[in-house]
Structure 1
Amino acid sequence: MRLRRENRRADAREHLGLAHELLSQTGADGFAERARREFEATGAVVPRQTVRPSTTLTPQEAQIARLAGEGLTNPEIGAQLFLSPHTVEWQLRKVFAKLGITSRRQIRATLGQRALA
């Protein structure tokens, strides 16, 4: 970044391109995105990498999905897990996206199919 700010764009482009590549490969997405923005600021064109969402539920997401599949409301789930209803809602949105579903009714069927797979 210092090189770019000193108008040494060609020198900066070399280092930032390498930094972006290495950070992307190691999974440091936040730093890779910052390197990509700086790299673009030097005049380079870098295609944005599509974020591949994980399809594996975290333990907390799985627990919330199971409770929602049993018919519990967000406040009831939150009370059991010591979470706010807002946090439960946020986690459920992530569960819906990962499972490719759009409603609570689909949770039980989808989780049952995943258990069989």
Structure 2
Amino acid sequence: YARALVNDDEDAYREALSLLTPGNPVWAARAHLIYGEWLRRQGRRRDARTELRLAHEAFSSFGAEAFAGRAAAELRATGEQTRSRSTDTAETLTVQEIHIARLVADGATSKEVAAKLFLSPRTVDAHLRNIFRKLSINSRRQLRDLPAIR
């Protein structure tokens, strides 16, 4: 991967992809992205689209919106349109719900969250019901175990 970046060598990009794809999907997605960017700069738009699509889909599925956006911008530069496919919690929950979910995941009670956010405990409980429904969970313990909330 580093050799490809430093030497601007297509064979090194392909080798990086073959080594990273089975073991580390995040770094493989990064390799697809930089290879696609390199291909586009070389004027090989059709080849670049394949790599950039793979990167965009992978980053979107991981919820890595910044990298997904970068891949989408590169795809647009090749003449292709993209759409967001993220299932990130940030798209599902409101800002207030995310804030409440984080506080509850850290162990705060409804009364403590209500006092901190200047809400009533009933409002906090209503938000929690919405959070549980949107995330398809049914307990505070499950909320604590979600990595996207942390």
TM-score normalised by structure 1 residue count: 0.53
- Following TM superposition, by how much is the alpha carbon of 1:110 offset from its aligned partner in structure 2, in angstroms? 1.3
Q: Matched residue of 1:7: which SS? A: coil
Q: Paired residue for 2:52?
A: 16
Letter in 2 for 1:59: L
- Counterpart check, 1:59 vs 2:72: no
The whole-number CA distance in structure 2 between the counterparts of 1:2 and 1:29 is 21
User: Which of 114, 127, 130 pairs up with 1:69?
Assistant: 114
Residue matched to 1:111: 124
The total of aligned residue pairs comes to 84
Stretches of structure 2 that go unaligned for 5 or more consecutive residues are: 1-36, 130-137, 139-150
Indicate the residue corresponding to 2:69 in structure 1.
Answer: 33
Whole-angstrom CA distance in 2 between matches of 1:52 and 1:18? 22
- RCO higher in 1 or 2 (8 Å CA, sep ≥ 6)? 1
1:9 and 1:60 map into 2 onto residues whose CA distance is 48
Offset of 1:108 from its aligned partner?
A: 2.7
Identity of matched residues, %:
31
Taking structure 2 as the reference length, the TM-score comes to: 0.43
Question: Which blocks of at least 5 consecutive residues in structure 1 are unaligned?
Answer: 73-91, 93-103
What root-mean-square deviation, in Å, do the aligned CA atoms of Structure 1 and Structure 2 show?
3.3
Alpha-carbon distance between aligned partners in 2 of 1:58 and 1:68, rounded to the nearest angstrom: 10
Alpha-carbon deviations, 1:31-73, whole Å to 9, x = none? Answer: 111111111111001123476133451138975x855733x6x
User: Letter of the aligned partner of 1:69 in structure 2?
Assistant: A
**How far apart, in 2, do the equivalents of 1:18 and 1:25 lie?**
11
Which one-letter code corresponds to 1:31 in the other structure? F
Aligned to 2:79: 43
